[in-house]
Structure 1
């Protein structure tokens, strides 16, 4: 797709969008390293449920735990989200849809017996890893 045919509203917007990663982001990698340091082993960037077209950042299949490290902008963090000034209507709807999809993902996984752990990108990776480890230990215990 050439920039002339692009879905982006401007060349700058296109560059920004192309630079966004769907996995292996800095916050996600920090949480993964912290979890690994605590002796946790997990799968990365997989669907918790095969029929669910959504991927979790860390998955503990045996314990049925899905961990999501959500970006403050993309998921509308109540603490750090700042609405875009350009193309504001598009982004307002986009972020609202992302939040609805997150809620639907959580509900679907919970209904299937999974435990969902969500963290914001700004949270301390060690604190997130401690929370994940506690959930894993609780699931393994009983």
Structure 2
């Protein structure tokens, strides 16, 4: 039987093992299943948008869908990464780091909402577990209202 070599994480990595590091690397930051489903439904309603784009050039944050002329930014937030009040479960390992990370994400989300609102944007946030049909309908209604059209 061959001995498993000791795992030394790369510089700056918070992963506690090679398996956890591989798992973390596999987590998508865009094109998740909920995003793709909502995009397909919105596109089917005849709306066109930018994907993973910055609503404001000077703001280093991207929205999942951006409707620039209508000034609508859509975010589909993951329950774990954004602290869903219904589904967030604190991690069992490295709790200090991960709890702080999620709290920082929540604070950044609120800051993003405020900055976009101040710039005249409508911000729509959905949880990944919400009905894609309802999300797409609300997105279409908001975009069309801001464009001065009705469905």
Q: Which has the larger radius of gyration?
A: 2
State TM-score, norm by structure 1. 0.95
Q: Does 1:97 align with 2:104?
A: yes
Name the count of aligned residue pairs: 141
Counterpart in 1 of 2:144? Answer: 137
Counterpart in 1 of 2:44? Answer: 37
Post-superposition shift, 1:39?
A: 1.2
Counterpart in 1 of 2:79? Answer: 72
State TM-score, norm by structure 2. 0.89
Counterpart in 1 of 2:67? Answer: 60
Deviations 1:29-66 (A, max 9, x none): 01101101111111111000010000000000000000
Structure scoring higher RCO (CA < 8 A, sep ≥ 6) equals 1
5+ long unaligned stretches in structure 2: 1-6
Displacement over 6 Å in runs of 4+: none
- The RMSD of aligned alpha carbons is 1.4
Which structure shows the higher helix fraction? 1
**Cα distance in 1, alignment partners of residues 24 and 57 from structure 2:** 27
Counterpart in 1 of 2:54? Answer: 47
Counterpart in 2 of 1:5? Answer: 10
Counterpart in 2 of 1:14? Answer: 21
